[in-house]
Amino acid sequence: MTCATRTLEFARVSSVQLPRHAPALFESVSSPRSIGVSLTGHERVEFELDGRARRASLAPGAVQLVADAPVRWIDVPEPSACVEIELSETALAPWGGVSTLEARSDREPARDTLGLALALRLAQSLGTAATEDNLELESCVLALVERVLGPVRTDGRALRLDAVLEHIEARVNTPGPRENALSLTELAQVAGVSVHHFARRFRAQTGFAPHAYVQSRRMARAWELLTRTSASVSEIARECGYESTSHFHSQFRRAYGRSPSATRD
């Protein structure tokens, strides 16, 4: 079994590759309060929920909701892969808490093609080295949760956009250690709205997803340092909040169509 996991402020997300399941050989258990999306298809699987054995077929993109009672996977004839999002009670509160999972956990796993696309994106993100923050990963997790559970109704409060943009600017210019990395929760608190509303309303008012806006400001800061200082590329990468110089190179090339070194030529 291989597993890549990232713990966020409101959820833990995992990408898991599992061997063939068979009774007395190998079994796995889905976490309570979780949303699971199968990345592989299976004609027949057997699992246990609330002490009852069940059989189902799983298409790629099949979604399994798990409330407080975990799901035990007993027989999956082929190797499998899935993405699992384990949600905190606070994260589930806008949907009515764990009861919204209980109301749907008894249903057969149903295929969701957009859910599959979002899950594949999450698996890809988890398979790469940790980047400068979790903003893009958090946005994708929220998109998948809202896809499965439905959108959260807005609370009507105004987004404090000027305060958010000033906060981002300060953080871009004074990056901290990774444990202090910028998060959607932090930005939502500055904005004065819940994290579930923040990403959608930020995009509506700026035209940017939060992670894309932060990325654009980091790249502008990097260009400024490359053209106005003699600091090395690795120093500038760290100054702009990138732990990985290679990741910084790829992001800069994507933004400007040239390498950081070529910008100085």
Please name the residues in contact with 93: beta carbons below 8 A apart, sequence gap of 6 or more.
Answer: none
Mean pLDDT for 176-189 is: 76
Q: How many residues does the chain have?
A: 265
Is pLDDT larger for residue 213 or for residue 265? 213
**What's the CATH architecture for 161-263?**
Orthogonal Bundle (1.10)
**Cα 32–Cα 34–Cα 91 angle in degrees, nearest 5:** 105
pLDDT of 25 over the 80 cut: no
pTM of the model: 0.75
Q: Identical fold at 2-131 and 161-263?
A: no
Collapsed DSSP state (helix, strand, coil) of residue 105: coil
Question: Which of 108-117, 121-130, 217-226 has the weakest average pLDDT?
Answer: 121-130
pLDDT digits (tens, 9 = 90+) for 31-41: 899 999 999 99
pLDDT of residue 84: 95
The pair phi, psi for residue 184, each rounded to 5°, is -65, -35
Q: Give the whole-number percent of the chain exceeding pLDDT 90.
A: 31
Least Cα distance to 38 among 25, 50, 26, 56 occurs for 56
The residue extents of the domains of the chain are 2-131, 161-263
pLDDT digits (tens, 9 = 90+) for 131-165: 556 888 888 898 899 899 987 766 666 678 889 99
Please name the residues in contact with 134: beta carbons below 8 A apart, sequence gap of 6 or more.
Answer: 6, 8, 181, 183, 184
pLDDT of 179 over the 70 cut: no
Identify the CATH class of 2-131.
Answer: mainly beta
